[in-house]
Amino acid sequence: MVEIETTSLLLCRLADEPHALLMSDVREVIRWRVPTPIPGSPETILGVIHHRGVVLPVVDLRPLLGLYTPPPTRSTRLLIVEHGGLEAALVSDAVVDIVEIEQSAVEPVPASLAAAQARFLAGLVYWAEQPVALLTLATLFAALTVDHAAG
């Protein structure tokens, strides 16, 4: 019997675009709450929240990805993520599902995609016959660190 390696993904929407994160990076999904602003922070850092005894930055990835930023709705969620020792609450316009995909189903990022956005993607997967951008937290966190140092 051949064992097929699978990966669990959290499917979400940023603006109207489908995106996914590795479930191994997602600790929790919570309802939206207004963060406490931090003066002088870059547009990607909306502020901070206090969650389970930890102060977490609330990060809006949409400006980094070149997406518009709709106001929060009843569907807006915060994705509590951890990668490389860093923790954050990522804004998601909606959480769609948790799915298992075969690791071999991850396709490379199309060369036609703008390099500014492509660097944040680990690849593409298809769900319900629709392409879904697989985000890579390592690159996103690195960009946020540089953005914060410059901002």
So where are the chain's domains? 8-150
pTM score, whole prediction: 0.89
Note the pLDDT of residue 119. 86
Q: 8-150 is classed in which CATH architecture? A: Beta Barrel (2.40)
Q: What confidence tier does 140 reach under pLDDT thresholds 50, 70, 90?
A: confident
Each residue of 2-51: pLDDT tens digit? 677 889 999 999 999 999 999 999 999 999 999 999 999 988 999 999 99
The confidence score (pLDDT) of residue 1 equals: 65
What's the rounded Cα separation, in Å, for the pair 31 and 74?
8
In the chain, which ranges are E strands? 6-14, 17-22, 26-31, 45-51, 54-59, 77-83, 86-92, 94-102, 121-127, 130-135
Provide the percentage of residues in the chain whose pLDDT is more than 90.
Answer: 66
| Residue 51 token pair | 């969650």
Tell me what the mean pLDDT of segment 110-133 comes to. Answer: 87
Joined tokens for residue 7: 């990966």
Output the CA–CA distances (angstroms, integers) from residue 86 to 4, 82, 99, 142, in the order listed.
31, 5, 24, 10
